[in-house]
Structure 1
């Protein structure tokens, strides 16, 4: 797994606390059976990310990070490949914060550190969502599913808007310029 993702996962655990299956809500229908399996939860995680990127205007380019699975949960990740300058970082975080609040997400934690800000929230159906700014201002998104019925999980079918860097060990730092997000003026 990419070292940056490992560092971000460690930051998430320290910032929000370990959220293993025992702490995550289990989605059930009225009969006691799980409403969805891990694949269905992964698809829902993709929908959450897709919806977010629709709200980011001007758009940014992104690539898939690694998908990981636990005993009953899935994590989907995306890395923003558009350079978000330090001067525009606050605006970017504001766009995401407003989009999540408008979707009814509960804000769990906001890290206002100027170098590595982060936002952690939860959807109404128990999916954990996070934005973490990593090295050189690269923005990472994660969606962690609640505990659901175990199943196989396929890779996301959502097409990345930046190169996928398949076959490379690491996702590079952001390398796509935007007239708005990469600008040096606030």
Structure 2
């Protein structure tokens, strides 16, 4: 296993222990794990919100996946929305690294036990963004997510539109 110094940065890949010895995780494996983490948190939100894929980005040894919520999360419901996610991440053993309590752009930043950075941020018009950033892994090609969005896919649309799906619960003007 390679150790990385904060000042020196990471070079190479980090191996994760697997059954029967050392298992080398590549960027596609990390993207698949990011999809699992995103599926899990979105599955905890009841009533369900409609989401689509945001961009997948890659660095020299890491990958990020994003999902963009297309359901309007009203200002009155943002605290509840963030609370559902915060409680799920804590129950899952994630370490909460920071919470932005800004009324206009609240966010939660956490880290999984296996080193993935996860975040939820609320942007303009109540649009929620979930992002997962991998740790440093072996370089490889990365395919787009195979998880289908639960609404329109907006393939080829950039930038994505603002949230346009109404929920009797999440879009409600009163708490």
TM-score by length of 1: 0.84
**Structure 1: 4+ residue segments shifted above 4 A:** 30-34
Taking the TM superposition and a 5 Å limit, the aligned residue runs for 1:1-186 are 22=10, 26-29=14-17, 35-186=24-175
Provide the residue aligned with 1:9 in structure 2.
none
Looking at structure 1, the residues matched to 15 and 163 of structure 2 have their Cα atoms a distance apart, in angstroms, of 36
Of the two, which has the highest radius of gyration? 2
8 Å CA contact 1:75, 1:143 repeated in 2:
yes
Looking at structure 2, the residues matched to 71 and 49 of structure 1 have their Cα atoms a distance apart, in angstroms, of 22
Looking at structure 2, the residues matched to 120 and 32 of structure 1 have their Cα atoms a distance apart, in angstroms, of 32
Shift of 1:144: 0.0
1:14-52 deviation per Cα after TM superposition (whole angstroms, max 9, x unaligned):
xxxx9xx639x9343389965311000100000000000
TM-score by length of 2: 0.89
Looking at structure 1, the residues matched to 88 and 10 of structure 2 have their Cα atoms a distance apart, in angstroms, of 29
More helix by share: 1
More strand by share: 2
SS in 2 for 1:132: strand
Count of matched residue pairs: 167
Provide the residue aligned with 2:3 in structure 1.
none
Provide the residue aligned with 1:7 in structure 2.
none
- What are the ranges of 5 or more consecutive residues in structure 1 without an aligned counterpart? 1-17
8 Å CA contact 1:34, 1:148 repeated in 2:
no
